[in-house]
Structure 1
Amino acid sequence: MGSRRKHARITTELPKELIQAINERLVAGETYEGIAAYLRERGHDISKSSVGRYGKDFLAKLERLRVVKEQARTIMTEGKDGPALEMTEAATQLALQLIMERLVTAEDLRDAKSSEILKALALLERSAVQREKLKMDAGRMLEVAISRIKTSLQEELEKNPDVLERLIGMVDAVAAEAKEKQ
């Protein structure tokens, strides 16, 4: 199955400022015919069909960006990890999704860029493993800190057991809350 031929007159013949103006007009909902007329007024004979092909690709990319932004927002609000890990987790999940969409067809695996895609997948996987290791290390460090606090409190408060029990209960409550946030 052959791929659709790209028509690049807009991107190759027009200055960046004019392309930006076209993009803004597309976002504003102006018709392809109106944009073609706008280009003719500026001395560029670009057909309505060329504008339409460019507009279709541009608007599809714009919609994809909106979806990705919404997905990132959702991941951020539903994330259980601390703020430092939320952005990397969101970025990793979105990048994996985009890569997997690229690998949908068997033709893509034979594509010259397939090795680059597979390398990117490997890097993302390594990043995910490192993130999980960081979470586990943080959990272990929290357990060690809790144990040390309890031991210190016990040594200092052996003479007053009621206060010791209340303080240990408070530390346990804080620890349980911290674990829920992990």
Structure 2
Amino acid sequence: MGNRRKHARITTELPKSLIQAINERLVAGETYESIATYLHESGHDISKSSVGRYGKDFLSKLERLRIVKEQARTIMTEGKDGPALEMTEAATQLALQLIMERLVAAEDLRDAKSSEILKALALLERSAVQREKLKMDAGRMVEAAVARIKESLQEELQKTPEILERLVSMVDTVAAETKENQ
């Protein structure tokens, strides 16, 4: 791919509020020509071609975002972990996919963009390791809490062993269910 100039005039010359208005008009399905006319009426001399280049890039990013959202929904419905980690893991998996696509598309892995991508990949990997550590810590905390509950119950219910046995069984059941849902 060549070094094609992006729509620098729209992103560098226009205020953010006007760029937001352009984005809204693109999403609403307005033509590039009508958006260029709107910009001209707003005092900005931006051509239909510039709007077209910007619109093509914006709409392709919007479509990619829609695909990513759908993929996230799919990952979340198939996820086995608790809800607190599902979204993070879905986002990480999607980000890894996008990074890998960019690396495959990169012509020279030594260029500045590729090194930024590799740094992002390392950060994502680090966050995945931290999530796994969090899961393990949560499991250990559940086990420690179960042990403390059992000890307290044993101390309090030494006088009625049949009730103690039933309660310990109930705590074990809840602990097993909690481990399955992690």
Fold agreement, TM-score > 0.5: yes
**CA deviation string 1:104-148 (max 9, x = no partner):** 225151322322222221222122112111211221222233233
2-structure distance, mates of 1:140, 1:14: 54
Letter in 1 for 2:65: L
**Aligned twin of 1:33:** 33
Shift of 1:44: 3.4
Cα RMSD of the aligned pairs, angstroms, is 2.5
Shift of 1:20: 2.3
Query: Any conservation in 1 of the 2:106–2:114 contact (CA below 8 Å)?
Result: no
Shift of 1:9: 2.7
Residues 57-76 of structure 1 correspond to what in structure 2 (within 5 A)?
57-76=57-76
**Alpha carbons of 1:164 and 1:4: their partners in 2 closer, same or farther (altered >3 Å)?**
same
User: Where does the alignment leave 5 or more consecutive residues of structure 1 unmatched?
Assistant: none
**CA deviation string 1:22-53 (max 9, x = no partner):** 21211111111212222333343433222211
TM-score (norm 2): 0.82
TM-score (norm 1): 0.82
1-structure distance, mates of 2:150, 2:17: 65
Percent identity, aligned pairs only?
Answer: 87
**Alpha carbons of 1:117 and 1:159: their partners in 2 closer, same or farther (altered >3 Å)?**
same
**Aligned twin of 2:119:** 119
**Alpha carbons of 1:102 and 1:156: their partners in 2 closer, same or farther (altered >3 Å)?**
same
Q: Which moved more, 1:64-73 or 1:161-170?
A: 64-73
Number of aligned residue pairs: give it: 182
**CA deviation string 1:138-159 (max 9, x = no partner):** 2122223323333443344344
Q: 3-state DSSP class of the match of 1:109? A: coil
**After the TM superposition, which segments of 4 or more aligned residues of structure 1 sit over 6 Å from their partners?**
none
Letter in 2 for 1:19: I
**CA deviation string 1:38-80 (max 9, x = no partner):** 2333343433222211111111112222333343444445444
**Aligned twin of 1:23:** 23
